[in-house]
Copies of this chain bind each other. A is one copy, B any other.
Amino acid sequence: MAKALIKLKEFVDILFLGTSAGAPTRQRNVTGLALLPDQGSAWYLIDCGEATQHQLLNTPLSVHGLQAIFITHVHGDHCYGLPGLLASAAMNGRKTPLQIIAPKGIQAWLEATHAMSESFLPFELQFTAVEEMDGWQDHAVTVEATKLSHRVPTFAYRFLEKHTEAALDTARLHAEGVPPGPLWGKLKKGEDIVHAGKTFASADYLHYPYPLRGIIVGGDNDQPDLLREASKKAQVLVHEATYTMDVAARVGGHVQHSSAAAVAGFAASAGLPNLVLTHFSARYQADSEKSPCISEIQTEAEAHYQGNLFLAEDFARFRLDKTGTLSKLA
């Protein structure tokens, strides 16, 4: 019990490594996103577009702390960075196995890539085919995949923490004569105590005032509504908003991407308190003198969503606090 409770603060930050759709720009790399605890060095990578390893050089993240890689779909801007990331992990001396949860084709492609380049990784790759995955978990999180709607089989991953921070029922402890101090500390850590000849079970005095934190990271998708069920256990949705509605109409539905309006409207109807849009078409410029401007995505989303809205940028870092509120750190 005590061991699990130590992990309670983990799994809270979202660090964007790439936020451009399809091709890199000078300001935005192709898709990559890190989920990481507010302490320690463990982290998860979701998608790995080309040059994700280059982006990591400008963050505190190390390939040694990488716990698992989740790939949403096989399009190159979401996975072409895998071979280089793995090669550099090998050059950096990684020895511990690495889990890769991905569409089936990724495993065969990585094996073909390593055969072509005569690369021999000094650590094991442990593959899970997302198409057949019945949940994934480690000590800190459970991960469930939801199938989305795109030109190729594409998935969203919902990361849900296993434990929330415990609080002590101090009123009851006072009433039952247990004095504040080291005994309370032990109870909070999950240890049972003996006081005045009587045993007090930790579990009887702990309660959990905060919800389990859940973060959904979607792949490319033109039907946000597919995430309605997953959203019931999530406070944050990270979703592509490749275009504004007008551009989406001009480009045509065959690309199977979402407009800012479509995602924002879904997030509102699902009651999601925090929404982060990403994966923007390179045509949207930061410079407001040019058109179309990235602020048009923001304006369109705001018209359909009154929650906590953010547009992702490369290296933007967000923290989901224990109450379920997301804020931007940098």
Chain A residues proximal to chain B, CB less than 8 Å: 22-26, 29-30, 50-51, 53-54, 57-58, 74-77, 79-81, 83-84, 87-88, 91-92, 105-106, 108-109, 112-113, 116-119, 151-152
A53 and B50 form a contact (CB under 8 A): yes
Which listed residue, B22, B26, B83, touches A91 by the CB 8 Å rule? Answer: B22
Which listed residue, B24, B74, B113, B118, touches A54 by the CB 8 Å rule? Answer: B24
What's the least CB distance linking A233 to chain B, in Å?
32
Assembly CA distance A51 to B50 (angstroms): 6
What's the least CB distance linking A157 to chain B, in Å?
19
Which listed residue, B51, B74, B108, B116, touches A105 by the CB 8 Å rule? Answer: B116
What's the least CB distance linking A22 to chain B, in Å?
6
A22 neighbours in B (Cβ, 8 Å): 87-88, 91
A sample of 30 cross-chain residue pairs with beta-carbon separation below 8 angstroms, ordered by A number, consists of A23-B53, A23-B88, A23-B92, A24-B53, A24-B54, A26-B57, A26-B58, A50-B51, A50-B53, A50-B83, A50-B84, A54-B54, A74-B116, A74-B117, A74-B118, A76-B87, A76-B117, A77-B84, A77-B87, A80-B80, A80-B83, A80-B84, A80-B113, A80-B117, A105-B116, A109-B112, A109-B116, A112-B112, A118-B151, A118-B152
What's the least CB distance linking A62 to chain B, in Å?
13
Which listed residue, B23, B88, B108, touches A116 by the CB 8 Å rule? Answer: B108
Closest residue of B by beta carbon distance from A91: B23
Assembly CA distance A50 to B53 (angstroms): 9
Assembly CA distance A25 to B64 (angstroms): 17
A57 neighbours in B (Cβ, 8 Å): 24-26
Count of this chain's copies in the oligomeric assembly: 2
What's the least CB distance linking A124 to chain B, in Å?
19
A113 neighbours in B (Cβ, 8 Å): 76, 80, 109, 113
Assembly CA distance A74 to B83 (angstroms): 13
Closest residue of B by beta carbon distance from A29: B54
What's the least CB distance linking A77 to chain B, in Å?
7
What's the least CB distance linking A29 to chain B, in Å?
7
Assembly CA distance A155 to B283 (angstroms): 40
A79 and B117 form a contact (CB under 8 A): yes
Closest residue of B by beta carbon distance from A119: B76
A84 neighbours in B (Cβ, 8 Å): 30, 50-51, 76-77, 80
A30 neighbours in B (Cβ, 8 Å): 84
Residue among A24, A80, A108, A151 with most chain B CB within 10 A: A80
B83 and A76 form a contact (CB under 8 A): yes
Which listed residue, B88, B109, B117, touches A24 by the CB 8 Å rule? Answer: B88
A91 neighbours in B (Cβ, 8 Å): 22-23
A152 neighbours in B (Cβ, 8 Å): 118
Assembly CA distance A57 to B29 (angstroms): 11
B23 and A75 form a contact (CB under 8 A): no
Assembly CA distance A151 to B119 (angstroms): 11
